[in-house]
C-alpha cells in the first residue's frame, strides 16, 4: 500500500506515520504543503492521502478542488484541527472519503484504518525510556496552536453563525520595537478596538492582545447574548474573551494543564498612548518577546480579529519542561 501524508507540521506527519504498521508492502511519502502533494500524486499512484487543511503555499481545500490529477483512485482522508461543521461538509463535497480530527484518539484511528485497510501499528508496545529526550519547542507550539485554532474557530463559528477562515499561526519572537509599532497603529486607526487579557498557570505567564476592526463589527451578535441588550464595549469584550479563552482552553488541554484568565480590559486609546510613551511599557518582557500571532476572518462578514499572545522566556521554559514530560 502506498500512502502519502501531507501536513506542514513535522510533528503531525510523524504522529500519523507512527500509527501505520510498516512492512515491505508499505511505502510512505511525505509532503509539507498541498502543491508538493499534487506533484507527487501526478508522479506516482497512492492508495491513501492523509491531508491537512491549513497549510502554506496550497491548503487542503485547494488540493481537494484540484483533484483528481491522475486516473488512479486515491482515497483522501482529511486530518485537521479545523473541526467546524461547515469545513467537514465542504471537504466531503469536494471528494474527501473521511475526516478525522486533530488530535486523534486511538479508537477513532483504529476504526479509520480498518475501513480503508491501512496496516495499523500495534499500540501499547513497551519502549525504553530516553533519559535525554529532545523536544522541538517551536514546532510543538506551532502544531498545538494549529489544533487550538481549529477548536476555537469551530466554537466561534457556532456563536456568530459564520464560517471562520482558519488562519496559520505565526510562532516566533517579536522585538519590542515591532510590538510598539503595532500598538501605535491601533492608536492611530480610529476603527480599531483593542482588548488586553492576562493569563497565568503552571509557570506560564502572558498577555493576549486582541485588535478588532471592520464594518461588520457593529452588526455582529453572539448567540449567547442575543437576548440581552449589550453595549458595543460589552460586545467587544465578549468577542475578545471568546477568542482568547477558546484558544487557551484547547492549548492547555493538550499540555494537560490549567491556565487561568483574568478579566479582559478594553484598551482606551488615550491611556494606551500614555502607556506607550512611558519607560515602563513592556518592562515585564525581554527585548525579544515570544509570540503566537494569528488573524481570524469570517467568510461573509467584514470583521477581522488580530490576536497576539505574548509570553516571557520563563513561560517558554515551562512549556518545554511540560512537553518533555508528555511527549
Question: pLDDT (tens digit, 9 = 90+) per residue, 242-280?
Answer: 999 999 998 998 888 989 999 999 999 898 898 888 888
Q: Note the pLDDT of residue 230.
A: 60
In this predicted structure, the answer to whether residue 14 has a pLDDT above a threshold of 90 is no
SS3 211: strand
Topology alike, domains 2-115 and 137-326 = no
SS3 65: helix
| Number of H-type helices and E-type strands within the chain | 10, 13
Give me the residue spans of the domains in the chain.
2-115, 137-326
The architecture of the domain spanning 2-115 is 3-Layer(aba) Sandwich (3.40)
Nearest CA among 91, 99, 93 for reference residue 116: 99
**Separation of alpha carbons 222 and 239, rounded Å:** 8
Average the pLDDT over 195-206 and give the result.
94
**Separation of alpha carbons 266 and 164, rounded Å:** 24
**Separation of alpha carbons 155 and 82, rounded Å:** 10
**What's the CATH fold of domain 137-326?**
Chemotaxis protein chec (3.40.1550)
**Separation of alpha carbons 94 and 66, rounded Å:** 9
Q: Note the pLDDT of residue 12.
A: 85
Q: Note the pLDDT of residue 225.
A: 45
In this predicted structure, the answer to whether residue 127 has a pLDDT above a threshold of 90 is no
Q: What's the whole-number average pLDDT of the chain?
A: 87
- Find the range with the poorest average confidence among 42-46, 250-254, 323-327: 323-327
Q: What percent of the chain has pLDDT over 70?
A: 91
In this predicted structure, the answer to whether residue 186 has a pLDDT above a threshold of 70 is yes
Amino acid at each position: 500500500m502506498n500512502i502519502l501524508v501531507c501536513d506542514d507540521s513535522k510533528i503531525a506527519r510523524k504522529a500519523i506515520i507512527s500509527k501505520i504498521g510498516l512492512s515491505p508492502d508499505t511505502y510512505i511519502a511525505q509532503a509539507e504543503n498541498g502543491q508538493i502533494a499534487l506533484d507527487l500524486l501526478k508522479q506516482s499512484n497512492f492508495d491513501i492521502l492523509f491531508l491537512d487543511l491549513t497549510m502554506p503555499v496550497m491548503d487542503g481545500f485547494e488540493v481537494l478542488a484540484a483533484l483528481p490529477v491522475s486516473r488512479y483512485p486515491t482515497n483522501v482522508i482529511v486530518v485537521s484541527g479545523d473541526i467546524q461543521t461547515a469545513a467537514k461538509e465542504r471537504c466531503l463535497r469536494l471528494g474527501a472519503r473521511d475526516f478525522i480530527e486533530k488530535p486523534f484518539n486511538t479508537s477513532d484511528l483504529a476504526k479509520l484504518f480498518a475501513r480503508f485497510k491501512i496496516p495499523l501499528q500495534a499500540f501499547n508496545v513497551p519502549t525504553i525510556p530516553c533519559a535525554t529526550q529532545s523536544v522541538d519547542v517551536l514546532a510543538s507550539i506551532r502544531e498545538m496552536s494549529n489544533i487550538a485554532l481549529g477548536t476555537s474557530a469551530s466554537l466561534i463559528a457556532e456563536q456568530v453563525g459564520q464560517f471562520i477562515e482558519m488562519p496559520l499561526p505565526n510562532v516566533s519572537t517579536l522585538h519590542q520595537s515591532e510590538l510598539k509599532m503595532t500598538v501605535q497603529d491601533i492608536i492611530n486607526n480610529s476603527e480599531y478596538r483593542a482588548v488586553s487579557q492576562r493569563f497565568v498557570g503552571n509557570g506560564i505567564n502572558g498577555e493576549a492582545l486582541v485588535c478588532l476592526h471592520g464594518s461588520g463589527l457593529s452588526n455582529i451578535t453572539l448567540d449567547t447574548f442575543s437576548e440581552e441588550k449589550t453595549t458595543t464595549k460589552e460586545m467587544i469584550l465578549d468577542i475578545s474573551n471568546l477568542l482568547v479563552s477558546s484558544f487557551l482552553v484547547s492549548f492547555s488541554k493538550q499540555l494537560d494543564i490549567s491556565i487561568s484568565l483574568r478579566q479582559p480590559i478594553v484598551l482606551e486609546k488615550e491611556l494606551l498612548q500614555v502607556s506607550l510613551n512611558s519607560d515602563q511599557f513592556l518592562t515585564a518582557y525581554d527585548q525579544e518577546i515570544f509570540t503566537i500571532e494569528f488573524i481570524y476572518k469570517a467568510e461573509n462578514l467584514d470583521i477581522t480579529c488580530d490576536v497576539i499572545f505574548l509570553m516571557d522566556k520563563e513561560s517558554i521554559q515551562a512549556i518545554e519542561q511540560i512537553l518533555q514530560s508528555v511527549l
